[in-house]
Structure 1
Amino acid sequence: MAASADHPRVARRGAPRPGPVPWMAMYHSVGDRSCDPYRITVTPDRLDQQLAWLRRRGLRGVSVAELLAARARGEARGLVGLTFDDGYADFLDHALPVLRRRNCNATLFVLPGRLGGDNAWDVLGPRKPLLTADGIRRAAAEGVEIGSHGLTHVDLTRADDLTLKAETVESRAALAELTGMPIEGFCYPYGTVDRRAVDAVRDAGYTYACAIDPRPLSGLHALPRVHIGQNDTAVRLLLKYRLHRLRRRPVEGLR
């Protein structure tokens, strides 16, 4: 008997099946971690060891835009996404040289409302300088994808309507003007996300957005990522890599 299109195991004609969530690593600062209460910093040596682990396994770190484009072409085998949140100034001095040495690339999510400022939102400190406009342009010139982390690192789930629009729409426009390039990606500050925030990011014109663990909102505008820290040696990385797909359900909008 022929399978019916109404059978639950048969996908409806023209309706693409949800695809597996890509593996994406979430970094923040790369440098001195003598005071690191939020565990957001890895040393350059540790980053180098982690990227070397990827390369030994036949994997290469790329920007989120490159990863999603490769998936759409069916050519994403061996690629993982690398992201760096907040736009710390140490990205240029410590992260970028390691990325280049390991033939990797990344997406850098920055805050155009805090150019040349610091991470004042981290109450416990320490204060870490953020990239200036020239620093962001330098990263872009090196081929790093620039994405928005909002204007000033505000929790979008608690923002009023005017703030929500500024953090999404205005930050995208400011970065496009600063870099001269289209800004496709957004990253939710603190990783917090709700339906209202997702809708605002989508309406602002972003192609994709990154969170941390946005279930049940996972999709192109709420992509989950895996936090990578100083303690993630080869064994922990392997566990995180293997567990990622076991813990994440396929989502709509991904191939």
Structure 2
Amino acid sequence: MAVPILLYHQIATPPGHKTPYRSMLVSPEAFRRQMAWLKRLGFQGLSMRECMPYITGRKTGKVAAITFDDGFTNVYQNAMPILHEFGFTATNFFVSNQIGGSNEWDQPLGVLPAPCMDMDQVRQWLSAGHEVGAHTMDHVHLSQLSEKQAFEQLSLCKEALQAITGDVVDSFAYPYGDHNDQVRELVRQAGYTVAGGTERRRATSQDDLMNLPRLTIRRDDTWLHFVAKCLLR
């Protein structure tokens, strides 16, 4: 059975018109409605790690993976209570050098500054039953780096997150959805077992585990768009 892997960024009130990338902010009210739709449709929302047996066909059931890129504080503040309300778990992919920092990589693009979770919040995210995943040290375009630099971004991010949490970090997401054959091989070598990309469709057992498709959820997705992404894409 095809499994939708949902991709969110920030869960916060979107800024005003003409703000760059405002579509990447989903309001807490919209996020709660979407989680209610998942429940209504019979889905169990799970972390990437918990979804893997369903994606690979070792288990059957109606599940959806819920993922967040970048580790924003507003996900901790606004999304985590809603996930708890519905009994769902999720994966957050953290930029290790910006834990306790902000989205510095976004600001040259005109995106408004937003804080990222600090170490204590990362640990609380994990202790609430959610998964900590990796998103490189500095939110870089991996395909534009040397092999040595790319491997350091992958391996040192994993090491830093494992030192913070005391837990194994084996899920990864590509910043900007940027990867190629060499990058995917480096992700394997760094010890990750699964990696999320940005191809917009549901995942199946035929997919490369180093490039699982994910469905980006945007500010202006209606309930019909959301349901279609979960059931039809």
Global fold match (TM > 0.5): yes
Deviation at 1:232, TM superposition (A): 1.8
CA distance in 1, matches of 2:200, 2:179: 7
Deviation at 1:98, TM superposition (A): 0.7
Deviation at 1:143, TM superposition (A): 1.1
SS of residue paired to 1:85: strand
SS of residue paired to 2:89: coil
CA distance in 2, matches of 1:76, 1:66: 12
Match of 1:202 among 160, 163, 188: 188
Q: Which position in structure 2 is the counterpart of 1:25?
A: 6
* Greater Cα shift, 29-38 or 152-161: 29-38
Deviations 1:119-142 (A, max 9, x none): 111121200111111111111111
Q: Which runs of 5+ in 1 are unaligned?
A: 1-19, 245-255
CA distance in 2, matches of 1:200, 1:156: 10
Match of 1:100 among 77, 84, 89: 84
Give 2:230's aligned amino acid: Y
Q: Which position in structure 2 is the counterpart of 1:47?
A: 31
Deviation at 1:242, TM superposition (A): 3.4
Deviation at 1:71, TM superposition (A): 4.5
CA distance in 1, matches of 2:179, 2:213: 11
Please tell me whether the aligned partners of residues 109 and 149 of structure 1 are also in contact (alpha carbons under 8 angstroms): yes
Deviation at 1:206, TM superposition (A): 0.4
Deviations 1:199-242 (A, max 9, x none): 00011110100010299x95101101000112222211222233
SS of residue paired to 2:232: helix
Q: Which position in structure 2 is the counterpart of 1:3?
A: none
Please tell me whether the aligned partners of residues 3 and 54 of structure 2 are also in contact (alpha carbons under 8 angstroms): no
Match of 1:188 among 139, 164, 174: 174
CA distance in 2, matches of 1:69, 1:75: 5
Q: Which position in structure 2 is the counterpart of 1:127?
A: 113
Match of 1:63 among 24, 47, 52: 47
Please tell me whether the aligned partners of residues 200 and 214 of structure 2 are also in contact (alpha carbons under 8 angstroms): no
Please list, as runs of the form range in 1=range in 2, the aligned pairs for 1:57-96 lying within 5 A after superposition. Answer: 57-72=41-56, 74-96=58-80
Please tell me whether the aligned partners of residues 67 and 76 of structure 1 are also in contact (alpha carbons under 8 angstroms): no
CA distance in 2, matches of 1:178, 1:78: 33
Match of 1:37 among 17, 20, 31: 20
CA distance in 2, matches of 1:51, 1:22: 16
Give 1:239's aligned amino acid: A
Rg comparison, structure with higher value:
1
CA distance in 1, matches of 2:88, 2:6: 13
Q: Which position in structure 1 is the counterpart of 2:210?
A: 221
Give 2:148's aligned amino acid: L
TM-score normalised per structure 2: 0.90
Deviations 1:28-57 (A, max 9, x none): 100121245212111110000001011111
CA distance in 2, matches of 1:90, 1:57: 26
Please tell me whether the aligned partners of residues 151 and 170 of structure 1 are also in contact (alpha carbons under 8 angstroms): yes
Change (3 A) 1:181 1:199: same
